[in-house]
Amino acid sequence: MSRSAHPAGPRHGDVLPEGHYTPPPSDLNSLDPRVWAQTVERTAEGALSVGGMDVRRLAEEFGTPAYVMDENDFRARCRAWREAFGPDADVFYAGKAFLSRAVVRWLHEEGLNLDVCSGGELATALAAGMPPERIALHGNNKSMDEITRAVEAGVGRIVVDSFQDLARVAHVARRLGRRQPVQIRVTVGVEAHTHEFIATAHEDQKFGLALAGGQAAEAVRRVLGLESLELTGIHSHIGSQIFDMAGFEVSARRVVGLLTEVRDEHGVELPEIDLGGGLGIAYTSEDDPREPHEIAKALGDIVTRECEAAGLAVPRLSVEPGRAIVGPTAFTLYEVGTVKELEGLRTYVSVDGGMSDNIRTALYDAEYSVTLASRASEAEPMLSRVVGKHCESGDIVVRDAFLPADLAPGDLLAVPATGAYCRSMASNYNHALRPPVIAVRDGEARTIVRRETEEDLLRLDVG
């Protein structure tokens, strides 16, 4: 398509409309290694490749949109977390970020444990052979059925979230003649600097039992008084997409404070603490995440210092990264359908997916970056908004990004860092068919979650 068919919108250096711009890189073809999976590169022909596979071939073979996951990168990140925390700590991958049987097997092979928070996630973990003792069950409203299946399976840990939840787990364990290990989830009163809907430790929200006001201490009393429960520790998860370690520091201090109170009141030293997940990743070049070894050192130092000050033996630490492991390992591959220039505003680039495969932009104002993936281009940067095909003007994938001005229908775009909370939050809005997840490794690609079909949709529709 010729340039004049859709002349570029405002360029870098022009007066730009309102918005938040990551300035265009000096070269639109360059790839920032922080936002892309490890093996992604631009080949001599100009297209992206991942795990040795050209994205044009992937699009041909598997169609678009598709989530493309770098298996070696996923495994490398698991190992980095495992090695950073060492043998005296446990790393639980938060399954809600993205879960499939293949992922469960990778986690198992790389020595990670697994957090689940629903019957469906538990079923997936068990179906893929995760040993139950390495599974933790979370949730603020677990059903009796979910609790029963978890206790029956023999999960290593259930994290209790309320007095009712505690009573239900105790009831089920007693009925099944088990002594179920549990942790108590506490809210430590930390304001994590993140979006309101993903901050979870300030007091006015649905999760956990508050330290302030003594609910957490009361839950400890109740669990210690029950034969069918074994209290192994205290759990705190302060939120998600956090870069600043200060919140974890306060959280660790307050959790150790509770352990000290428990020792003083009951003469019991609880052997575990879990500081949750929430470590941020780079969605754009402006984000600067910490490496696992820095996080491990920071958390280890805080816990050790606080315990020594309180005269407590240092408990076994666990952490629960979801996004930080899977987020950067995948990108979404889309095909451009239409390119619409709005004079003096920006150019709207419509792709063949949207809010049904990535709700995070609409839900959290999340920022993403995007690159032309099927070829390199020397054209000028064009201020663009990448939008989906759904019936909402809020159906935005990438709010503000610079793409080359010669972009045309049929080009492939890749949006990096979509491994976490994209497929797992995907919907069938407008009866969209949820995209497949393609795992790529050493020059081979395979489907680990297949694309939905219209038969899948109609199979549920039994009216």
Ligand X SMILES: *Cc1c(COP(=O)(O)O)cnc(C)c1O
Enzyme catalytic residues: 391
By CB under 6 A, the count of residues binding ligand X is 17
Binding to ligand X (CB under 6 A) within 114-153 occurs at 115, 138
Least Å distance, CB 122 to ligand X, is: 15
Lay out the site mask for ligand X across 71-100 (x = CB under 6 A, - = otherwise).
Answer: -----------------------x-xx---
- Nearer Cβ to ligand X, position 45 or 244? 244
Site string for ligand X, 213-252 (x = CB under 6 A): ------------------------x--x------------
Interatomic CA distance for residues 37 and 331, integer angstroms: 8
Sort strands 316-319 and 89-94 into parallel, antiparallel or unpaired. Answer: parallel
- The contacts of residue 342 (CB under 8 Å, 6+ apart) are 9, 348
Rounded to a whole number of angstroms, the minimum distance from the CB of residue 214 to ligand X is 22
Q: Closest approach of Cβ 398 to ligand X, in Å?
A: 21
Least gap, CB of 93 to ligand X (angstroms): 9
Residue 287 interacting with ligand X (CB under 6 A): no
Residues 309-338 that bind ligand X (CB under 6 A): 320-324
208: contact with ligand X by CB under 6 A: no
Between 275 and 397, whose beta carbon lies closer to ligand X?
275
> In angstroms, what is the minimal distance from the CB of 280 to ligand X?
8
In whole angstroms, the minimum distance from the beta carbon of 220 to ligand X comes to 19
Distance (Å, rounded) from C-alpha 222 to C-alpha 212? Answer: 17
- Closer CB to ligand X, residue 228 or residue 241? 241
* Stretch of 163-171, 270-278, 409-417, 426-434 contacting ligand X, by CB under 6 A: 270-278
278 lies in the binding site for ligand X (CB under 6 A): yes
Under rule CB under 6 A, residue 284 binds ligand X: no
Nearer to ligand X, 198 or 383 (CB): 198
Contacts with ligand X, residue ranges (CB under 6 A): 94, 96-97, 115, 138, 237, 240, 276-279, 320-324, 420
